[in-house]
A and B are shown apart, each in its own frame.
Chain A
Amino acid sequence: MKARIRKIVVVVEETRREMGRPVEPPTRRAAAIAVIENPFAGRYVADLGELIDIGEELGALLAERALAALGVAGPQAQSYGKAAAVGEDGELEHAAAILHPKLGAPVRKALGKGAALIPSSKKRGGPGVPFDIPLGHKDAAFVRSHFDGMEVRVADAPRANEIVVAVALTDSGRPAPRIGGLKASEIKGEDGLR
């Protein structure tokens, strides 16, 4: 493995009540988070190929971990998202290199499908910085019940020379969706949008 991983954190959230009303079945979302060394910390490097390859490795690893945490088979996952927090000696471009070119393909492979864009966010910050992973339906980005987000953080990361990389998967939408829009039951799931 190219990635030098210091730590993996897996978080599962299960919501059983919202505004006093039971959520049945509970909505669940899981984030798998890796803390890796940033090979380019502290200097400008033009070719970010190593980070791009690391993104591919992490896509497979983190999708597998998040699925295992949810305890469902890939096709049962409903929405996804990805995000990275770069330590202070790195650039946002380092996060971009991990997230955008190659991370998505192995995630989609683990899920069996995934026609929609994987929503993402990135930031730079110190240890413990909270970051919000945007979530969207995996096959149709316009499914309104599945627009969501999950805040995660790792208390001791990223150190200055580290990057925290997260993939989030759910088996459900928001706990009490009622704002209309495209329903999951109505999608074609071919173009990634509807």
Chain B
Amino acid sequence: MPSVELRKRIVTIEEIFHEGGPRAATPYRRAAILCVLRNPFAGRYVENIVGFSDDLKPLGLEMAHALIKALGGDAGAIQGYGKGAIVGAAGEIEHGALWHAPGGYAMREALGGAKAIVPSTKKVGGPGARLDVPITHINASYVRSHFDSIEVGIADAPRADEIVLILAMTTGPRVHARAGGLKLEEISGQDGLR
């Protein structure tokens, strides 16, 4: 499979103190890492692409660790995650789908075996396209306080022959979480759901 050729990497960290309600004792943080790479399949239909997924594993791990580092370096502090991809105009959505396995694997590995499925979204778009990356709790998808998302995008990417790969992590519930549902202290955390 072709090599992974990185053009640019972006790390963005949001620190949220309040959203009109009481000020959080510890600010809620959500962060994303975005990597812009060349789409080796741009401009033509390639049948056999799945091997590229394995080629992305080292990059995924590097991104997951960099993101944890950006959030303070303690993997134990990470409570939510998500992932996504934006494929440039000369590519197909299927190319973005190659990120599902390595992106998910990387975060589970870096977080020491998180149980929940990593929520994701993807699209084909031009430079500056925005993506709302969904986020849920790392061990129990139904924890309602941790349903969140982070909007990301890069002014000059993806170019037509590029892909933007994204991982996102958060450090807790939404800053004023009060919409009921399954609570963090109620989960068993075994099946990835509750």
Which A residues form the contact surface with B (CB < 8 A)?
A: 5-18, 69, 128, 130, 151, 154-155
Contact = CB atoms under 8 A, between A and B. Distances in A.
A11 B10 contact: yes
Contacts of B12: 9-12
A7 B8 contact: no
Chief secondary structure at chain A's binding surface = strand
Contacts of A69: 11, 13
Chief secondary structure at chain B's binding surface = strand
A18 B5 CA distance: 11
A58 B140 CA distance: 39
Contact of A6 (B7, B19, B130, B150): B19
B18 interface: yes
Contacts, number: 53
B18 A6 contact: yes
B7 A18 contact: yes
B16 A16 contact: no
B10 A17 contact: no
Interface residues of B, number: 20
B7 A12 contact: no
A155 B151 CA distance: 6
A7 B17 CA distance: 6
A55 to B, nearest CB: 19
Nearest to A34: B15
Contact of B16 (A6, A10, A12): A6
B10 A16 contact: no
A7 B7 contact: no
A11 B11 contact: yes
Contacts of A7: 14-17
A120 to B, nearest CB: 19
A99 B18 CA distance: 24
